[in-house]
Structure 1
Amino acid sequence: MSVRRVEQIMGLPISVDLRDGDDALAEQAFAWLRAADEQFSPFKPDSEVSRLDRGELTREELTPDLVEVLSLCDWYEESTGGAFTARVPGRGLDPCAVVKGWAVQRAADVLRDGGASTFCINAGGDVVVAGEPEAGKPWRVGVRHPDIADQLCVVLGVRDGAVATSALYERGQHILDGRTGQPVTGLLSVTIFAEDLAIADTTATAAFALGRDGIEWAAAQEDCEVFIVDEDRKVFRSPGLPVHIC
C-alpha cells in the first residue's frame, strides 16, 4: 500500500511519500511531528522551550528529548566558536535550527519502527529517505540553484540517508552569526548529505553561520558530504557526494 500526505507543521509543508505502509502509520509520523512542534516551538507560549526561556523550568526538570536537543545545540555552538547558537544576542531561546531535522529524523524512525522500508519525508526541502522508489533506482533529491528559482544546480541519488540545505533564496538573510548577531555573508547555499537529518540540517545551518569559514568546517565533519556555493558562485563539492547521473 502506498500513502502520500502533506501537512503544514513547524511553519512549513512536510510531506510523506510512504511506499510500503498505510494511513495509520503515516498518521503516527505526523502525530509525532505535531507533538514536537507543541513541545519545542519558541513561538508557542506553553511549549517546554518557552517555559524554560521564561525561567519556569530548570535544566533538571526538562524532558529527555529537550535535554538531547539542547545538548546538540551546545555541541554545534562549541564546534563553531559561537557562530551557531540557540541564543542569538537580543533574542530568546530558539533551538529551531536543531529541532526541525531532529524531529523529522524521529518521524522517519517512527516509520521504520512500524515496518516501513521505502519512504521519503520532505520538510521544506530537507529530505530523509529509505529504500528505493523503483527497483535499482535511488530517490532523486534536487538542490535548487541559488540564483535561478526554476533550475537545479545538482541532483543527488540517495537510498538511505538525508539531505539538507541552508540558503538565502527562501527567507533572505535569516541566518545570523551568533558571535555578532548580524546576518551572515560569504555563502549562498550549503547542502549536506549525511545518514541522519538532524546532523545534515544542523551542520548545514552551522556551516552557513560561519560564512566562508564554514566550507572547510563542514568538509571536516565526520560522515558528512558537502555541496556549497559561495557568494562568488564558486562551487565546493566533496568527493563522496552521491551525485545522480541520469
Structure 2
Amino acid sequence: MLIHQANRPRSGDRAVPPSGRGTIPDLRLGARSAPPGERSDGSPADRIVARHTVPTSTTEFSLVLSAPAELGRRGIGEALRDAVAELRAIDLTYSPARPGSLVSRLRRGEISADSYPPLADIVARCAAMRAATDGWFDAWAVPGGFDPGGLLNGWAVERAAARLRAAGIGDYAVFSGADVVVRGHAPHGGPWRIALHHPTESHRPPMMLEMTAGAVGTSGVTGRRDHVVDPHTGKPVNHFLAATVTGPDLAVADAYATALFAAGPAGLDGFPTTDGYRVLFATTTE
C-alpha cells in the first residue's frame, strides 16, 4: 500500500513525470528481470555509447555513457576504466564486508578516522547525516560498530561519476539496485527515462521518471526485512517495504532514505529538506 507520494517533483525540478504512457525506460531500478541500461536505439551519429557492469563484494554497479565521438573509443574506454577502477578501489579499501578494509580497521580501533583523507570524508558525512536526520541515520548505532553502508555505495557512485566528468563525459548514468545518479542526456538524446519498480510486487507498473541531473536513493528495494535498525533501540524496523528519496547527491539521498526507513511515517515530516531532498514514495508493509 502506497502511503506517501508527497513532494512529487514538478516540471523544472530535477525529476519530472514522463510525458506519456508506454515510454520505454533507459534504466530499470529495482527490477528482478530485464537488466537495466540495455537500450541501443536512437543514438545520434556523433555519440558513442558504452555500458559496463562492475561486481563488488556487496553489490553490482552499472554504468551507461553517452560520450562525444571526438573523444574516440580509446578515450572513452580509458574514462570508463578509470570510473570502474574507482568503484573497485572503494570496495577494496572501505567496504565493511572486508576484514582488511579501512572501515573494518576503524571499527576494531586499529586506526583513527583522520588516518586517511577519504576515510575522514566518509566519517564526516556520516556525522553530518546523523545531525541532519535527528539521529535516525546513525552509522555508529548498528551491530558491530561504525558502519557507513547506508551512504557508502552512493559515495562510491558519486566519486565514479566525478571521474567521468573529469574525462569530459557529461552524459551518463551510474547505478546499483534502485540507486542512481544521472547527468545530461540518455543515448537517444532526451532525458534519462527511469523505471522504478515495486520492491516485492513485480506485476505493478513501475513509477516512471525523467531526469537530466540528480540522484534517486532507495532503502529497502530488495524487500529484505530486518536490514535497517532503529538507532535509538538497536532493533530492526519494518515500517516500510521501501523508501525512496531524490536530490542532488546520491550519498545524501541514500542516507535520507535509510533514515526515513528507520523512522517510519513520522519521518515524512522532515521533507522536503532545506538542501533539496524530497520523498518520492514510501510503501508500507501492509
User: Could you tell me the TM-score, scaled by structure 2's length?
Assistant: 0.75
What SS does structure 2 have at the residue aligned with 1:72? helix
| 1:28–1:67 Cα change, 3 Å | same
The corresponding residue for 1:213 is 266
Shift of 1:16: 0.7
Question: What is the root-mean-square deviation in Å for CA atoms of aligned residues?
Answer: 2.0
Equivalent runs, 1:64-213 vs 2, <5 Å: 64-134=117-187, 137-167=190-220, 169-213=222-266
Structure 1 runs (4+) greater than 4 angstroms displaced: none
What SS does structure 1 have at the residue aligned with 2:264? coil
| Letter aligned with residue 149 of structure 1 | S
Unaligned runs of 5+ in 1: 234-246
Equivalent runs, 1:50-61 vs 2, <5 Å: 50-60=104-114
The corresponding residue for 1:13 is 60
CA distance in 1, matches of 2:184, 2:137: 32
In 1, are the aligned partners of 2:225 and 2:238 still within 8 Å (CA)? Answer: no
Shift of 1:232: 7.1
In 2, are the aligned partners of 1:12 and 1:123 still within 8 Å (CA)? Answer: yes
In 2, are the aligned partners of 1:118 and 1:133 still within 8 Å (CA)? Answer: yes
User: Is 1:226 paired with 2:276?
Assistant: no
In 2, are the aligned partners of 1:84 and 1:210 still within 8 Å (CA)? Answer: no
Pick which of 77-86 and 28-37 moved more.
Answer: 77-86
Of structures 1 and 2, the one with the larger relative CO (CA 8 A, separation 6+) is 2
CA distance in 2, matches of 1:232, 1:178: 20
Shift of 1:206: 1.5
CA distance in 1, matches of 2:125, 2:148: 9
Shift of 1:170: 3.6
* Larger Rg belongs to: 2
| 1:174–1:218 Cα change, 3 Å | farther
CA distance in 2, matches of 1:152, 1:202: 26
Q: How many residues align?
A: 232
What SS does structure 2 have at the residue aligned with 1:162? strand
Shift of 1:152: 3.9
CA distance in 1, matches of 2:180, 2:253: 9
